[in-house]
């Protein structure tokens, strides 16, 4: 029996000769390429292999796909399937041998790359180098080998579709990506590329995600058996017409549609079950990211898409919101020209028509998003017309900033996000929310500034800002900076600074402080005078609201642990905080899985009776997390005010 199986293995090995020559060529190419472009004595395995696994996983997946495609249908194409069935070898043996050979060959290449990396690791060692991370290397190899087996198992069934299988695979990953953007619970557990949750630092423990491994194992085993059933039935189709249809274009297309429909059914079933089993942590209903964005789901009917146009806008909306959309449309041109006049936009910047799309969902608690010539905007039924006008004015400001500057700020958006949001907020509150409507922003900035000075050098480096602070501080801080500049140089400042950015001789792709030094210098402004005035305005806000700010201290320490599928966070709260806190003030925590700054992956929790926060462990596969504790005092500010990020490793 074993001898027969070894003969089958040898047959498959000989059949896949072109594939292993491809693997050998890849290894040799990689070996030569690395030695040409890298210094061999400065190439530690942690920095260049283990800590960045995604590139290696993509290559592994592609190699598995190449190896598996056609491997089950080759005998039928060559007309020898009936002959093989006459031999004393079972279909199970042949099926297992085909997948096993691909698994061994791809795994061998991955192991060869690791051995190559270990040689470079030895050459790169210095007296102060950290110890070779043998535990991490072993974990990496274990997870990578598991993924090779998983990829082979799930690709075998779709390989019967031949090149149609690429369509099915693309559809699968596309659906997963869509569900991830919607923060569907547990969705990461069916994504194999989320399995490698590498620690941030070499000396941290790498926690193996056993639950994730279990889910992928079930999927892999199920897929393997489906492929076996397909392979066993390859000779069962009888009749000339039936065989011709199966081999035709429409037969393969129908099979691909059937497989995709099955995948969609499984994903929908997964979505329903996960929604029942898991309640994800979100912002409390009354919490809003910026003033006036109380977004609630609509229950009225009528989902047909309609459009309506004005001189400056084309509105795209659902039939159910026709009445309020057209009310806003009547006011929209006036809104556009009010913003354009404030920014002193020229005819070129005002040219064209902007699309405002109300029909597509935005991210959770997001009032609007502006692009080059398109605005995506929420307009729920509970908003007043004045509220919608203010949000539209805010988003139009973004569009006009892009138009006036020739999109130059988009080249360095990480250095300009604060300016975009600050100027849009200034226009919103100056024109569409006059009076004391900006008091919430002043409270927000006063409290955040009390905990730690909001430096201009932080605002112009958005990547640094989001890892240290609440990224939404760009709204009130940016607006206050614009107001400081207007204090110093007058109402002409916004228009002149925008025009200076778009001057023909302006350097391209400047970033950080250099961008704003150049813009202010070209406009005839002293950046340091504006920064000085900005610091004065922050000081005045802290003084003005000192009494209330002192009652809401910043929480800067705490610990986390994993308990029964939950991450329990215990903040270090000051003595007597409940007695000192303003009436109605609540503590809120948000947790992030990494420092990427993607708010869609954050989870929220309110303080429990035991003075702890809790979120589901499923959203946090990496050993390390970050969390922020903030105050939500609705009579003070609609937006919860968060302190600094705290890094923790839950045990």
Tens of pLDDT, residues 517-533: 999 999 999 999 999 99
Looking at the chain, the domain(s) classified CATH 3.30.2010.30 span: 290-404
Is beta strand 354-357 parallel, antiparallel or unpaired with respect to 374-377?
parallel
Q: Is the dihedral of CA 393, 395, 399, 402 positive or negative?
A: positive
Query: Would you say residue 573 has pLDDT above 90?
Result: yes
Digit-coded pLDDT (tens) for 392-435 = 999 999 999 999 988 888 878 889 999 999 999 999 999 998 77
- Give me 270's structure tokens: 């997964």
Helix (H, G, I), strand (E, B) or coil at 460: coil
C-alpha span between 485 and 388 (Å, rounded) = 28
Fold of 290-404: Zincin-like (3.30.2010)
Q: Which of 79-88, 204-213, 537-546, 632-641 has the highest mean pLDDT?
A: 537-546
C-alpha span between 471 and 460 (Å, rounded) = 12
Q: Is 608 left (phi over 0), alpha (psi -120 to 50) or beta?
A: beta
Can you tell me which residue has the tokens 């007058």?
A: 490
- Top-confidence residue, 582 or 27: 582
C-alpha span between 445 and 450 (Å, rounded) = 8
Q: Which runs of E-coded beta strand occur in 192-312?
A: 305-309
Give the residue among 71, 247, 262 at the shortest CA–CA distance from 153.
71
- Give me 236's structure tokens: 């069962």
Digit-coded pLDDT (tens) for 249-273 = 666 566 656 666 665 665 565 555 5
**What local confidence, expressed as pLDDT, does residue 436 receive?**
67
Is beta strand 374-377 parallel, antiparallel or unpaired with respect to 368-370?
antiparallel
The DSSP element (H or E) to which 628 belongs, if any, is: strand 625-632
Neighbours of 368 (CB within 10 A): 22
Thinking of the domain 558-648, which architecture would CATH place it in?
Answer: Sandwich (2.60)
Q: Helices 474-489 and 439-451: crossing angle, nearest 10°?
A: 100
Bridge partners (DSSP) of residue 308 are 315
Of the candidate ranges 170-179, 238-247, 401-410, 592-601, the one whose mean pLDDT is the lowest: 238-247
Looking at the chain, the domain(s) classified CATH 2.60.40.10 span: 558-648
Digit-coded pLDDT (tens) for 134-153 = 888 888 899 989 999 999 88
- Give me 320's structure tokens: 């159910």
The DSSP 8-state label assigned to residue 429 in this structure reads: I
**What local confidence, expressed as pLDDT, does residue 480 receive?**
96
C-alpha span between 648 and 606 (Å, rounded) = 18
Query: Would you say residue 302 has pLDDT above 80?
Result: no
Neighbours of 553 (CB within 10 A): 16
């Amino acid at each position: 029996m074993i001898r027969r199986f070894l003969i089958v293995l040898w047959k498959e090995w000989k059949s896949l000769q072109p594939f292993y020559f491809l693997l050998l060529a890849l290894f040799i190419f990689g070996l030569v390429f690395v030695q040409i472009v890298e210094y061999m004595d400065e190439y530690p395995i942690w920095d260049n292999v283990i800590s960045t696994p995604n590139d290696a996983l993509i290559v592994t997946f592609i190699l598995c796909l190449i190896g598996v495609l056609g491997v089950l249908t080759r005998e039928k194409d060559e007309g020898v399937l009936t002959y093989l069935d006459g031999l004393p070898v079972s279909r199970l043996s042949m099926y297992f041998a085909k997948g096993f050979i691909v698994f061994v060959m791809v795994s061998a290449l991955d192991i060869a790359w690791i051995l190559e990396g270990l040689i470079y690791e030895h050459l790169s060692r210095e007296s102060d180098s950290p110890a070779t991370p043998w535990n991490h290397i072993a974990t990496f190899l274990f997870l990578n080998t598991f993924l090779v087996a998983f990829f082979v198992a799930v690709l075998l069934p779709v390989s019967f579709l031949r090149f149609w299988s690429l369509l099915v695979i693309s559809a699968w990953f596309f659906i997963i990506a869509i569900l991830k953007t919607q923060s569907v619970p547990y969705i990461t557990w069916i994504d194999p590329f989320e399995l490698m949750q590498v620690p941030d630092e070499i000396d941290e423990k790498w926690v193996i995600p056993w639950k994730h491994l279990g889910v992928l194992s079930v999927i892999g085993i199920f897929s393997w058996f489906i492929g076996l059933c397909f392979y066993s039935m390859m000779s069962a189709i009888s009749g000339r017409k039936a065989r011709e249809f199966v081999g035709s274009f429409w037969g393969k297309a129908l099979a691909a549609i059937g497989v995709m429909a099955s995948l969609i059914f499984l994903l929908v079933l997964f979505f329903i079950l996960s929604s029942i089993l898991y309640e994800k942590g979100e912002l409390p209903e009354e919490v809003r990211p910026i003033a006036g964005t109380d977004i609630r789901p609509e229950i009225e009917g009528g989902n047909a898409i309609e459009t309506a146009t004005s001189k400056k806008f084309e509105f795209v909306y659902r039939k159910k919101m026709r009445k309020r959309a057209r009310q806003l449309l009547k006011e929209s041109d006036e809104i556009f020209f009010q913003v354009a006049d404030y920014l002193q936009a020229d005819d070129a910047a005002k040219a064209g028509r902007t699309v405002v799309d109300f029909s597509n969902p935005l991210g959770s608690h997001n009032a609007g998003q502006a692009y080059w010539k398109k605005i995506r905007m929420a307009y729920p039924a509970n908003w007043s017309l004045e509220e919608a006008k203010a949000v539209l004015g805010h988003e139009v400001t973004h569009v006009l900033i892009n138009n006036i500057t020739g999109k130059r700020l988009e080249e360095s958006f990480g250095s300009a996000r604060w300016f975009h949001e600050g100027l849009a907020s200034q226009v919103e509150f100056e024109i569409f929310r006059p009076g004391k409507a900006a008091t919430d922003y002043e409270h927000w900035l006063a409290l955040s500034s009390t905990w730690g000075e909001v430096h201009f050098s932080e605002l112009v480096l958005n990547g640094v800002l989001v890892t240290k602070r609440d990224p939404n501080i760009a709204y009130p801080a940016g607006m206050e900076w614009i107001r400081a500049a207007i204090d110093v140089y007058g109402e002409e400042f916004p228009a002149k600074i925008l025009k200076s950015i778009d001057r023909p001789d302006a350097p391209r792709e400047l970033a950080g402080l250099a961008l704003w030094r150049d813009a202010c210098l070209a406009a005839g402004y002293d950046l340091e005078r504006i920064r000085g005035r900005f610091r004065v305005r922050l000081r005045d806000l802290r003084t003005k609201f000192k009494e209330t700010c002192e009652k809401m201290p910043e929480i800067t320490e705490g610990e986390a642990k994993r308990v029964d599928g939950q991450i329990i966070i215990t903040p270090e709260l000051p003595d007597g905080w409940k007695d000192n806190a303003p009436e109605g003030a609540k503590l809120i925590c948000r947790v992030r899985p990494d420092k990427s700054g993607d708010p869609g992956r954050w989870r929220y929790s309110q303080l429990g009776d035991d003075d702890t926060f809790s979120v589901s462990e499923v959203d946090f596969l990496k050993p390390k997390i970050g969390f922020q504790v903030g105050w939500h005092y609705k009579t003070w500010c609609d937006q919860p005010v968060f302190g600094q990020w705290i890094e923790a490793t839950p045990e």
